[in-house]
Amino acid sequence: MDYIFIQDQETLDLVCARAARHKAIAIDTEFVRTRTLAPALGLVQLFDGHQLALIDPLAIDDLSSLTSLLVNPDVIKVLHSCSEDLEAFLATFSLVPRPIFDTQFAAGLLGLGTTMGYGRMIEMLLEITLEKGESRTDWLARPLSDNQCRYAADDVLYLLPAFEQLYDMVEARGKLDWVLSESASLSEKKKATMPAEYAYLQIKNAWKLSSQQLTVLKHLAAWRLTRAQQKDMALNFVFKEAHLFELALRMPQSKGALSRIHCLTPQERRLRPEILLDIIRQGLEEFDNTSSEAHIPRIKRLIDFPHYKQTLARLKHAAAEIAVEQGVSEEVIASKKQLNQLIKWHWFDIDECRVQGLKPDVLTGWRATYFEPVAQAVFN
């Protein structure tokens, strides 16, 4: 099928107006995210069953007709494994599409395979094998070749007929609300932001540090996140996580001590030493000027709690029972990571969900109906 490459507002407005008349449209994005914190959107693909459009967001100043379509409540937006697409839309338009039908989640729900790739799904449902030759394209470069455009077009051309099959099967199972709710919950998570003062919670091995070292890590991690946001740089291109941990562990207070931390990259060493030493000094001063009762508590691992394994086993058993009752796999109901999230929510005063204003996955969306009574029985 031929595609339209849209680089003017008039054509975009016309295509979006036509697409808004349909029950569902297939959407995909192409973006570049190598050294940046946020994905840089290079292309938006749209297929409504009649017109296949490749929209160039770099060439059009006013994309309001597209953004209006993306949030039109009467049109289902069909995406496959939509997590990174949501991030691209958020970074570019400060919004996420709604409502969303994620075909990857739907396929997992139906027992066709969890985390199934797009190509495998199309092969299974439509018996079509897709080419993957342009997956490493620089989607910000212009002009795009016909091969690149056709590769991008295929990502929505076959998505819509696959959706139609999955939609009918999901609806027959009475699980359409699960699919729409899953994407809505994911959208809320994507919109949440980690406060800089709690960025240290995401640093691997932070549990090994003392309260004093954690206070230093808090300042270092907040600086790294803030700088990444200001410069639009991936966190590890600002300062590698393992090296940030090493600074907090050793707490160098002089240029000489800092120079003896040999793991630092050349880029990290190009930072003025005074910047890092000043951040470390601020952390040490905060610790010294804070009462012992107000110090950051050492981070505990779940495995350090005596009843952790027993509690996790009870939650896994409950998830297995729900899975049997609903006729889906346990993985769809709740992963180990999601169950651990629930345990932290109940046992920890500070956790990654709470500081972002979120609830654990199993207490949001369609899962909440099943897990709220489970949580009450296990933790009360």
Q: Quick one: which H or E segment has residue 16?
A: helix 9-19
How many CA atoms lie within 13 Å of 252's alpha carbon, on the beta-carbon side? 19
3-class DSSP state for residue 197? helix
- Cβ within 8 Å of residue 318, ≥6 positions away: 371, 374, 378
What are the structure tokens assigned to 278, written together?
């000043």
Q: Which residues are catalytic?
A: 28, 30, 85, 151, 155
> Strand 4-6 to strand 24-32: parallel, antiparallel, or no bridges (unpaired)?
unpaired
Report CA 176 to chain centroid distance, whole Å.
22
Tell me the residue type at 49.
Answer: G
| DSSP one-letter code for 24 | E
Tell me how far apart the alpha carbons of residues 288 and 46 are, in angstroms, rounded to a whole number. 57
| Backbone CA torsion sign across 365, 367, 373, 376 | negative
CB count, 10 Å around CB of 254? Answer: 10
Tell me how far apart the alpha carbons of residues 217 and 230 are, in angstroms, rounded to a whole number. 20
